[in-house]
Amino acid sequence: MKTAIAIRHLAFEDLGILQPLLQARGFRIEYREAGVDRLDGLALEQVDLLIALGGPIGAFDDELYPFLVDELGAIRRRLQARRPILGICLGAQLMARALGAGVAAMGHKEIGFAELQLTEAGMRSALAPLADSPLALHWHGDQFDIPDGAQRLAASARCPNQAFAIGNHALGLQFHLEADPQRLESWLVGHACELAATGIDPRTLREQCRRHGETLRRQGSLVFARWLDGLG
């Protein structure tokens, strides 16, 4: 049986809609809790698929959160070995950092359901299903630069670098295709302080999710299925 390990930084920012897709393809799923479980050793290097999930800390916050050193090392070794890896939000930022690219604050927050624009490369990539309904859940204040040798796949009005890919084995997403619309409430509660600080009314996000959630679930499932198909 194949195994996928997901590095989780917040309990509610989990694999979401990606988990049943992986299980249907025969993957056994394990979580590693950042800051609690060990993130060094051979397990993260040799597993069939590594997924680095999102979180509210910065990709360069090593001094504040020392576990990032081991997490970054594991991600770097996966990339060097060209082993399958998916990074979402913070996970994608750590991938970019591991590849020598910058990650920095945008000067504003991008939170909520907003459109994406696919690049020409994005239209040929696993993200192609989003062309029919280019919408995603955004929840970040930092953005990555596109690493050397990677293809830029998507942008949004407030963030020009939303996704990148290296070959078929590495995909970094700034946005949250994995988020389960039926569990948005856990995000609203978990990020209540951030929403209040940025002046975002959770009722607005709840209404956006009501209107767009099922479309996002369908499109996200198509994207992940297409990417997993490309892993062979």
Check residue 5 and give left, alpha or beta (phi > 0: left; psi -120 to 50: alpha): beta
CA gyration radius, the chain: 16
Q: What per-residue confidence (pLDDT) applies to 40? A: 87
* CATH label of the domain that carries residue 45: 3.40.50.880
**Nearest to residue 16, comparing CAs of 170, 186, 154?**
186
- Sequential pLDDT tens for the chain (232 residues): 899 999 999 999 999 999 999 999 999 999 999 999 999 888 898 999 999 999 999 999 999 999 999 999 999 999 999 999 999 999 999 999 999 999 999 999 999 998 999 999 999 999 999 997 778 999 999 999 999 999 999 999 999 999 999 999 999 999 999 999 999 999 999 999 999 999 999 999 999 999 999 999 999 999 999 999 999 7
How many other CB atoms sit within 10 Å of the CB of residue 115?
A: 13
Domain of 121, in residue numbers: 2-230
| Distance (Å, whole) CA 75 – CA 93 | 11
Structural domains in the chain (count)? 1
pTM above 0.85, yes or no: yes
**Nearest to residue 14, comparing CAs of 222, 220, 187, 218?**
187
